[in-house]
Structure 1
Amino acid sequence: MPEDDRAFLEALPVKQREDLFSSGLPSKEARIKRLHQLKSVLLENEGAFMEALHSDLGKPAFEAFSSEFAVLLNEIDHVCKHLGKWSRPVSSHHLKMGYVERVKRKRHPYGSVLIIGSWNYPLQLTLMPAIGAIAAGNRCVIKPSEHAPATAQLLKEVMNHTFSTEQLHVVTGDAQTAHFLTSSSFDLIFFTGSGQTGKRVAEQAAKQLTPVILELGGKNPCVIGETGFSKAAIREIVWGKFLNAGQTCIAPDTLFVHQSIYEKTLTELSASILAFYGDRPQESRDYGRICHDAHFEKVVKLMGQGKVRHGGTHDRNHLFIAPSVVTDMEPGSSILQEEIFGPVLPVIPFSDFDTLLSSRMIQRDALTGYIFSKNRDEILLFQEHMQSPTISVNQVIHHAASPLIAFGGKGRSGYGAYHGKAGFLAFSYEKTDFRAYHYLHLQQKYPPYSDQNLKVLKKIRKWLF
């Protein structure tokens, strides 16, 4: 990295922080104005972003708009509508023995926030956290993924043209750039990506005592109980699994199916894939591509660890992997241990629900857990077993698009949450103004202490604090 680039990047958080606190914290109106500017950038450059998303991931226009644009536009509208209520200070008065206390609590921005985006949804996952950061009053430095170069470059051009460096600045670059940024003096870091990279980000941030929000992934289990089979359920699962060619952090990773409906589930999976993408999915205008070579190799290798029941074809030159269903995996194989993050769906039969949960085949702290069932006890048992922040019953994916639902992980799937009010809270901290008005000074609280005063303290302690 050239020295002038290093100097510029190192000065960015300092420059943003000084400008923020020297010019005074932005008002609610100023923050809403910046969010409207962000919305205008999206609307004015919609066509260019759609082309960039297709270039990076082969995204169909419908998927690109629904999963990238629509959720961002809805998020901005929701945040602008409720920002006044969220930002309002909360005051309270309390009568204590000897004084009256007044407590005023208000959300306060961290300062300069670093946002590191991901390549699978390079627009949505880069700008969604920025919405929360701006709403809370922060300044932002955004580092898009280098694996989605067209989208990253366009973000840099339009955002840096619209916003001043002190307000929001997009930096492009490779892993070296990201490493340098995470070692800099930001006030908060938001990272979306793999667990392995997330650990490195957290380690670097810890050296600066910088708080971090990690949005990672996991092997999201999807269970079809004995009463859960229907053609509609299978269509829902197939849609959620092969959306964005399987490169979705909340996609159903592995499908567990009750033995009694195992064969007809496999049959219906094939039927739904054919209905969606035809018998030549490589020619389908509604099916995307793998993002880069290394990931292509990983997914193909994982697919080879099972018996292909549908699909299985792939073309490295075009980064194409057909929507595939695999069965008969060897216990302990990588496909059962690692997040697949691609268009390969392992299907595993089970005969007893309790045994399935106790088998440790299900990652309890995955980003989300899915179950299709009409059995209330089965659903409750699954909800209690899973430690994921979100459990979705009889549907997939949709919950992540709502600004009313906090989105985030636990354990191996990350920590911290955002979207809607959760995003506003994540990018701010509570600042308290505490004032006391004494009407009586109690000398007994000062040294030297006495045993008698300690006895009195124990009797009246609830009125003191």
Structure 2
Amino acid sequence: MHDNDFLKTLPERQKEELFSTGRPSLEARKKQLLKLKSIILEHEAALTTALHSDLGKPVFESFSSEIAVLLNEIEYVCKHLAKWDRPVRSQHLKLGYVEAIKRMRHPYGSVLIIGSWNYPVQLTLMPTIGAIASGNRCVIKPSEHAPATAELLKEIINQTFPPEQLHVVTGDAQTASELTSAPFDLIFFTGSTKTGKAVAEQAAKQLTPVILELGGKNPCIMDETGYSKTAIREIVWGKFLNAGQTCIAPDTLFVHESIYEKTLDEISASVSAFYGDRPEESGDYGRICTDAHFQKMVELIGQGIVRHGGTHDQNDRFIAPTVVTDIKPDSSILQEEIFGPVLPVIPYTDLKTLLSSGTLQRDSLTGYIFSKNKNHIQRFKEHMRSPTISVNQVIHHAASPHIAFGGVGSSGYGAYHGKAGFLAFSYEKTEYQTYHYLRFQGKFPPYSDRNMKALKVLRKWLL
């Protein structure tokens, strides 16, 4: 942990360095990104070991959902950065002059990135890629709830990059509070809605812009036409990936009553096929991150009838993939984001009634529907406010650099990934020039009725 003076002066040092050297060239930014890629590759084994220590992540999940996604993002950004970075020029003929406009993207300066514990490599370095691509200097604060990963990121990044360029600071919530009070030019936060509100409130005192990537109860609907064994496997995989600790996991599954029982049977069959009858012995299933979160999951399991799973071991922070049914409408499991390996499965009779019931969180990070009925799909898309709607698939959209990732309303604001990340960490800076071929003196005081009449006639050419 660093002392307070270091935390307070680091953003100013980064801004001074950026001001004195100017915005990094395109090639310099690509070089930084490729350097980041090289240390990810060089320390791949150490990263997967740290992820297993923090979350019990299988190597396959560590690589596919964290490392591979980052490598793909860096390669995509490097490939397209020159095009995104190119100034946009235009000229417009006016009465008496020609205006020339040059619009460019400009880095904010010193950016603070606060990562999350559930994907502690990906969700810490993914926004860093966008920040570097735009030309910013960064301070990264990984989550203290994934300590092995946080310490490893600190070691490999701080020994590779100078602190005036990119620096990792570890510590607890107090450290995060001190950082959000420091004079950064932009703050990027991934985490809970409660903490996100606190970050935004603190940043507002200094008028620091904030990007918030929060959570939500992502609804998943399977209508009477959407059932298949393949669809069930997709939902089970997406729900129990990373032991359910995924912000875009299907939170609650709503199933048409006509296929309800066979859906429950197939969910159990898929869970057993994935993790065996003793998932605690499976090398392909993770663990809960903290004791407090473990206790929350145990409490949620008790709010319904366990259809599958339900076993748990606090010493190992293990909770089996669990399916619960027959839940009372006012239960907290139906009100709060679950963020764990507990899947409520709720029957419904009519899609229109379900959508109008107020049960679904309309501004969740994403919404899922499994259906062959185009009218149902369209109705669901129109009902949801979520920035992304995924049809007959879960999770995969978040790995695509072609798709902006972000929330709306209670799931956050701002978006990143690919070009969206480049835009998120920069602002538009405009150079404006005029070339006069005639001077219109009537724009100066004292004003006259004659000039007013001329203004009304010629306003499109004057303004």
Q: Specify the alignment match of 1:394 in structure 2.
A: 392
1:236 alignment counterpart:
234
Deviations 1:203-234 (A, max 9, x none): 00000100000000100000001100000000
| Alpha-carbon distance in 1 for matches of 2:84, 2:329 | 49
Summarize the alignment of residues 274-285 of structure 1 with structure 2, pairs less than 5 Å apart. Answer: 274-285=272-283
Give the distance between the partners of 2:456 and 2:344, measured in 1 at CA: 62
Letter in 1 for 2:162: S
Please name the residue that 1:370 is paired with: 368
**1:454 CA drift (Å):** 2.0
Moved more, 437-446 or 191-200: 437-446
**Amino-acid identity (%):** 76
| Corresponding position of 2:112 | 114
- 1:197 matches 2:195: yes
CA distance in 1, matches of 2:455, 2:267: 70
Deviation at 1:92, TM superposition (A): 1.0
Which amino acid is the alignment partner of residue 299 of structure 1?
Answer: M
CA distance in 2, matches of 1:319, 1:294: 10
Distance in 2 between the 1:288 and 1:263 partners?
Answer: 28
CA RMSD of aligned residues (A): 0.8
Q: CA deviation at 1:450?
A: 2.2
Instruction: Look up the SS of the partner of 2:159 in the other structure.
Output: helix
SS at match of 2:330: coil
For residues 144 and 72 of structure 1, the distance between their equivalents in structure 2, rounded to whole angstroms, comes to 16
1:322 is displaced (CA, Å) by 0.3
Residues 1:42 and 2:46 aligned together? no
Q: CA deviation at 1:113?
A: 0.2
Partner of 2:127: 129
Q: Which runs of 5+ in 2 are unaligned?
A: none
Which residue of 2 is the match for residue 72 of structure 1?
70
Letter in 2 for 1:350: Y
Residue 451 of structure 1: CA displacement? 2.7
* Secondary structure, counterpart of 2:188 in structure 1: strand
In the TM superposition, residue 456 of structure 1 has moved relative to its aligned partner by: 2.2
- Runs of 4 or more, structure 1, over 6 Å off, are none
SS in 2 for 1:162: coil
Alignment of 1:53-92 (within 5 A): 53-92=51-90
State the Cα distance separating 1:453 from its structure 2 match: 2.2
- Structure 1: runs of 5+ lacking an equivalent: none
For the residues of structure 1 that align with 2:440 and 2:247, how far apart are their CA atoms? 59
Q: How much does 1:452 deviate?
A: 3.0
2:81 counterpart letter in structure 1: L
Counterpart of 1:51 in structure 2 is 49
- Matched residue type, 2:377: I
| Residue 408 of structure 2 is aligned to residue 410 of structure 1 | yes
Aligned residue pairs, count: 463
Q: 1:440 maps to which residue?
A: 438
CA distance in 2, matches of 1:354, 1:458: 52
Cα deviation, 1:435-460, whole Å, max 9, x if unaligned, reads 01112111111112223322221221
Question: SS of the counterpart of 2:445?
Answer: coil
C-alpha offsets along residues 289-310 of structure 1, whole Å, 9 cap, x if unaligned? 0001111111111111111100
Q: Distance in 1 between matches of 2:225 and 2:456?
A: 59
CA-CA distance at 1:421 after TM superposition: 0.3
Whole-Å separation in 2 of the counterparts to 1:215 and 1:304: 29
Corresponding residue number in structure 2 for 1:262 = 260
Instruction: Give the Cα separation in 1 of the matches to 2:124 and 2:198.
Output: 19
Name the CA distance, whole Å, in 2 between partners of 1:318 and 1:240.
23
1:332 Cα deviation from its structure 2 partner:
1.3
Tell me which residue corresponds to 2:322: 324
Q: Distance in 2 between matches of 1:332 and 1:454?
A: 65
Structure 1 distance, partners of 2:329, 2:90, is 59
